[in-house]
Amino acid sequence: MLEAFYSNPRPVGIATFAMKGQTGKLSLTDDDQQRKELLERSYRGEAIELEIEAQTYAQGVGIENRKYIDFSTEALKHLAATAAGTPFCRDHSLDTDKGLGDTLSSRYHNDGLIEALIETLSVRSRAGVRAVLERRVTNFSIGVLYDFETLECRVCNDTVLKCDHYPGQQLKGNKVATWRYNDAEWLERSWVIRPAVVQTGILGWERLSAARSNTRNPKRNTDMAEYTELYRILNLDSSAGEVGITAAVNRITTELQVSQARVRDLEGVVTERDTAKAEVAKLRAELDDRRAKDLESEAEQTIADLVKDGRIRPGGSQEELLRKTFASGDEANARALVTAFAENPRIAPVGQRQSANLGNNATPQASTAPSAPPATDYGALFAALPEHIRNAAAACADQPERLFQRRPDLLQRAMGLQA
């Protein structure tokens, strides 16, 4: 059988089937009507059990092991002797819904070049039966339990606990470090997508014959390269299989959905913040506008009161200064000016000014306001004025003489203060 597995260009794969008391043999190689009928009946819900003979593990000349681990002869013989009744699974999963069947028997094979486990497997689950009938069961991998103390480094020929080598480590002289199981117990064997040992499969199946060699089947190389890239991208071990890939993709999808929800939440927060900022800006603008109007109204009322009270001349420089200060929004300065101007001597109306100096049919008298001597230091006089008056008359600070000409009362006050 092994000879056919490796050399026959067109071997005949056989499976035994049983259903409703009927038994028979089925060709898995030929696309015959019987296989199609069994597949259709399985999809209709009928219970079908298959028995297949498969090479589930091999090591030796020309056998590649991607994990760089092998078994001692004694360990392989022990596995063959204890295999009956152990599970047949999918992708090394012991979950009930992943179980395909169990092992009926196992034998150790050694032809001098290759050591292998040849096993008879019972396939009872519908998923397993359909996978076999659809010729999708192409690769096998075994899962075992072991003791680290008996795990041997093939470089040091001693327990791996005493060295730093690891499987697959590239060493000098084109050597590669490998480990060996000297003692192992069954866990399960599985149908997998990417096995550690390429030379596994259902015996006699054409697709699993010598055409499966990596060097003879470019398409398989392409398939394996694609899976290798997937394992690398998803950061998975090469034994993860389809289940591992699916789980990793589902995990990434979930993380993406959570991230997208978080982004949406943050976008909502940003939108609320921008809306709040716009509302604050709107309220601030309304307050500024209201304040400007209130100041304008206050300025008009204050100027009207000062004019009515005779403290400033209508349309004069003091009125203009007040308007400009209120318009600039400088409330403190504007109110200081109002306070200063409120202390100005009252200005008599024109008619009253003349009647105060003229009797009936009297001629106008010259002003009795003192005049400053020609050599008067107007700057010093201006400096002698109270601070609030100087602030109110700041526009005349550079020409105090002009100020005193227009306001002889201030001149009199300044002269009195200076004296």
Domains and CATH numbers, the chain: 2-147+183-214 (3.20.16), 370-419 (no CATH)
The pTM of this model reads 0.47
List Cα–Cα distances, 131 to 90, 251, 316, 322, 411, in angstroms. 11, 26, 106, 98, 118
Interhelix angle 218-234/241-308, nearest 10 degrees:
40
380-389 per-position pLDDT tens digit = 777 777 777 7
- pLDDT of 210: 30
Which pLDDT does position 220 carry in this prediction?
Answer: 40
Say how far apart CA 198 and CA 379 lie, in whole Å: 111
- The 10s digit of each residue's pLDDT in 117-140 is 999 999 989 889 888 888 888 899
In angstroms, the CA 378 to CA 387 distance is 16
pLDDT of residue 337: 84
* Residues 51 and 105 sit within 8 Å (Cβ to Cβ): no
Number of neighbouring beta carbons within 10 Å of residue 298: 15
Cβ-based neighbours of 137, under 8 Å, separated by 6 or more:
52, 128, 131, 191, 201, 202
Q: How far apart are CA 120 and CA 346, in angstroms?
A: 126
pLDDT at 153: 95
Q: Which residue has the tokens 């002269």?
A: 415
Helical spans, DSSP H, in 172-315: 218-234, 241-308
Q: What is the pLDDT of residue 291?
A: 83
DSSP, residue by residue, 44-90: TT---EEEEEEEEEEEETT--BTT-EEE-HHHHHHHHHT-TT-EEEE
Mean pLDDT by 10 residues, the chain (419 residues): 31 51 60 77 86 91 89 96 95 83 94 91 90 87 91 93 92 91 94 90 51 38 55 74 75 87 87 87 87 84 86 83 84 83 72 47 47 60 76 71 72 66
Max Cα-Cα span within the chain: 157
pLDDT for the residue numbered 74: 96
Tokens describing residue 168: 């697959």
